[in-house]
């Protein structure tokens, strides 16, 4: 297991946000974190990335307690894409190069620059590589931020709504790229998604949060109408298109 979480609890002051969260993730897995607004999805990602400190429980990275791993070393292991970010007066190339910061001692090496150039090609960002991020679209910026996380060469990707601001074509393109990256590099990815159908199409495992704890987890075989209805509070039908499960909401 590259990531193992045992009995995680987190509260904002006296308000519980996560309660007794336990799961594990293997190399090569893309795991969807699902649930309605306020279920604790983003908080879970921040606890794993050591941005927030859990009240109880243990997070293991490569069998090491994350509390005993220095922040710089965590940054080498985990690539994080947040929902919000601010980059001003930097080029696309420079933002992605920032992902190499945990690996750079004095100055960027030829290897660092080559990694950035490869990611720019892989994400089809060559045409805007030297433009300021202030001048590109929201969808293009989202791909740049994902590129910055990939530049870290992480063992785990934590992606909080990575399809924000992306149109349908780019949503599929980005998630397909992440999926292939996870397989080819034999790393892991935890992806917070609001779109259940995108999760069903690209993820290998699923963790459904409800009332701040895990309601259900498993592979696609365990997905059924009852789980979706209980978690999201809406009647659905699950059908298949080209052997891909599709959730169709009926009524609130």
pLDDT tens string 95-109: 999 888 888 777 888
Within the chain, residue ranges assigned H as helices are 41-48, 71-77, 92-97, 110-122, 138-151, 168-185, 196-202, 225-232
Please report the pLDDT score of residue 207 as a whole number: 97
Please state whether beta strands 156-160 and 188-192 pair in parallel, antiparallel, or not at all (unpaired). Answer: parallel
Where are the domains positioned within the chain? 3-251
Distances (CA, A) of 224 to 17, 30, 208, 220: 26, 20, 12, 9
- State the number of CA atoms in the 13 A half-sphere of 188 facing the CB: 18
- What is the C-alpha separation between 102 and 50, in angstroms, rounded? 15
Please report the pLDDT score of residue 164 as a whole number: 79
Block means of pLDDT (10 residues each) for the chain, length 252 residues?
90 88 94 92 93 92 90 87 78 92 82 92 91 86 90 92 85 89 93 94 96 93 93 92 89 68
CATH class of 3-251: alpha beta
- What is the C-alpha separation between 75 and 101, in angstroms, rounded? 9
- What is the C-alpha separation between 246 and 138, in angstroms, rounded? 27
- State the number of CA atoms in the 13 A half-sphere of 107 facing the CB: 1
CA 216 to chain centre: 19
Please report the pLDDT score of residue 13 as a whole number: 82
Classify 29 in phi/psi space as left (phi over 0), alpha (psi -120 to 50) or beta.
beta
């Amino acid at each position: 297991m590259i990531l193992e979480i045992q009995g995680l609890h987190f509260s904002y002051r006296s308000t519980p946000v996560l309660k007794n969260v336990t799961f594990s993730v293997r190399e090569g897995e893309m795991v969807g974190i699902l649930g309605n607004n306020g279920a604790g999805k983003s908080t879970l990602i921040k606890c794993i990335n050591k941005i927030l400190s859990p009240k109880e429980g243990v997070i293991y990275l490569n069998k090491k307690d994350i509390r005993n791993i220095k922040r710089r070393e965590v940054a080498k292991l985990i690539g994080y894409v947040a929902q919000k970010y601010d980059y001003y007066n930097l080029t696309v190339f420079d933002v992605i190069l920032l992902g190499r910061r945990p690996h750079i001692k004095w100055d960027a090496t030829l290897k660092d620059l080559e990694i950035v150039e490869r990611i720019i090609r892989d994400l089809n960002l060559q045409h805007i590589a030297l433009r300021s991020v202030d001048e590109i679209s929201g969808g293009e910026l989202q791909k740049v931020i994902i590129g910055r996380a990939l530049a870290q060469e992480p063992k785990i990707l934590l992606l909080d709504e990575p399809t924000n601001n992306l149109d349908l074509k780019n949503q599929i393109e980005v998630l397909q790229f992440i999926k292939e990256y996870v397989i080819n590099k034999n790393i892991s990815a935890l992806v917070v998604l609001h779109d259940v159908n995108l999760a069903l199409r690209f993820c290998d495992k699923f963790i459904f949060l409800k009332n701040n704890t895990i309601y259900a987890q498993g592979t696609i075989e365990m997905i059924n109408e009852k789980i979706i209805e209980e978690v999201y509070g809406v009647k659905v039908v699950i059908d298949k298109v080209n052997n891909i499960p599709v959730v169709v909401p009926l009524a609130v």
